[in-house]
Amino acid sequence: MTNLNSPQTVAAKAETLRALHAGPGMLVLPNAWDAASARAVQTAGFPAIATTSSGVALSLGYLDGEKAPMDEMLNAAARAIAAVDVPVTVDFEAGYKLSVEEIARRLIAAGAAGLNFEDTDHYSDVKLVPAELQAERVAALIDAARAAGAPLVVNARVDVFIHKQGTPDEQLAEGLRRARLYKDAGADCIYPILLADEAMLAEFVKAVGVVNINVRRGGPLSLQKAASLGIRRVSYAGSVFRDTMTALGTMVGEIKAEADAVST
C-alpha cells in the first residue's frame, strides 16, 4: 500500500504544485479551512488547494496570528490534505517558533506540498523579522525540506504592507528589498499580502517574477486584471471563510425568524 505522506509522495505533489506556477494559466487558490471545504475546492475543479490560517484558527475557536495551538492548526491541515487528491499548500504563518528542520518535518509528515512562510514577528514589538534573517530562514527551510526528501514549495510572504511602517514609497522599497532577498534564498513565490496597487504589483513582478496576491470576490482587483499584470498565483486568504460565515449567519437567522413565527 502506498504511503500517502511518504517523502516520495509529498515530493511528487510538490513538483506538481511548483509546475502550476509556470502556467499555462494563472494558479488560482480558493483557500480551505477543513476537510469539507477542501473537498469543495477540489470538486469545483481546482488543481491545488491552499489553506487559510485565519479560517482554520477561527473554525477552531481561536484568533489568527499564531494564537491557536500549532498542533491543532496542523492537524486541521492534515485532515484537509487527507480528504483530497490534489496538492495542498499550508498557511503555516511564521512557523510557530519551530526550527526550520521541524517545520519541514511536520509539514512533510502531514502530506503538505508547500507552505506560506511569513516574515511577521508575532512575539515582539518589532513587527517584522529582519529581512536578512528571514532570508536565511527561507534558505534553511528549503535545505531542510530537500534533505528530508520532499522539496516543499515555499511561498515567502512579505508583510510590509500589513504593518505599514513608513510612507507608501518606503514600504514599496522595503517590500521589494525583502522580495529579492527571499527569491535569492530560493523561495518559489513571493507574496506581498494586502498589496493591491497595480503599479506596485507590477514592480514586484518585474523584481521577482513569480508573485502571489490575495483578492476577494467582488474586490477591486479582478482575476483578469491580475493576469494582465503578470501575477502567477492568486489566493483568497480568509475571505471565502468569511463569506461562508456570513451566508451561514443569514441562513440561521432565517430559520430563527421562522421558528419564532411558529411559536407565537
Look up the CATH number of the domain holding residue 204.
3.20.20.60
Domain count across the chain: 1
pLDDT, tens only, 238-262 = 999 999 999 999 999 999 999 999 9
In a domain, 1, yes or no: no
In a domain, 2, yes or no: no
Residue span of the structural domain in which 136 resides: 7-263
With b for 16 or more beta-carbon neighbours within 10 A and e for fewer, the 10-24 pattern comes to: bbebbeebbebbeee
Closest CA to 214 of 196, 189, 187: 196
pLDDT, tens only, 65-100 = 999 999 999 999 999 999 999 999 999 999 999 999
257 CB burial (10 A radius; 0-12, 13-18, 19+): exposed
In a domain, 244, yes or no: yes
Give the sheet arrangement for strand 233-235, strand by strand: 27-29, 233-235, 212-214
In a domain, 108, yes or no: yes
- The predicted model scores a pTM of 0.95
| Dist. CA 204–CA 202, nearest whole Å | 5
| Dist. CA 146–CA 144, nearest whole Å | 5
Grid coordinates of 92? 503555516
